Amino acid sequence: MDERNPRRLTGKGISMHPLLRGGDGLKVIPYTDRRVCVGDVVVFRSPDPQMQEVVHRVVSVNPQGIRTKGDNNNHLDSWILQPEDIIGRVVSAKRADRIFAVHGGFRGTIVARMIRAKKRIDRIISGIRRLLYKILHPVYRRLSQSGIFRKILPRQFKPRILCFKRPEGTEMQLLIHNRIIGRRCPGWDDWQIRRPFRLFIDEESLPRQSSDL
């Protein structure tokens, strides 16, 4: 394998998400005069007999060896690699009809840091959402049950129900004006109503089947 005849691999797993995905076509070139650098995305032979070739990013290089980690993993790989374990570095990937560069070295390190920062931000946002839901959901439910918002809903926005025949039965759709705000499909135990429209709906008065209309 040389740079004029690179190796082609197909990405597998989720350890390099979101940079690389399963099914991506990877272009791999060997290390010739270039040494392995922190930030490179490399293909190597795993010391784990249950794994074969692995695509991860280099996070450290020292006299003891080379440490790697998947961008989507929380921990370093358990093994320490030697230069002879490295098959090559990934320089580009093809996804559908799009080809994009896979940067290594300093730029690769920046990419990995940005991915980790995004994951931390996503976890924080997810935690805030869960906290808000825990705090606000009981309030929302009590307001919905109180019926106060139903009393101030203008007449032209009064909910209406449409029925549609499906192979498995009748689907009922709940609309306000021309917007679908809820559904009850055949086999469902309850209506599914989108937030915040439950504030304007008396769920107990909704039909359980089309014959109740």
Contact, 105 vs 57, CB < 8 A?
A: no
Q: What pLDDT score was predicted for residue 44? A: 94
pLDDT at residue 108, as a whole number: 94
> Per-10-residue mean pLDDT for the chain, 213 residues long?
73 92 94 90 86 91 95 93 92 94 95 92 93 87 81 81 91 90 91 88 82 69
Amino acid 4: pLDDT: 60
What are 10-33's pLDDT values in tens digits? 998 999 999 999 999 999 999 987
Domains of the chain, with CATH numbers?
7-115 (2.10.109.10), 150-208 (no CATH)
Which three-class secondary structure string do you get for 71-106? CCCCCCCCCCECHHHEEEEEEEEEECCEEEECCCHH
Going by C-alpha positions, the residue among 35, 57, 28, 39 that lies closest to residue 105 is 39
* pLDDT at position 3: 57
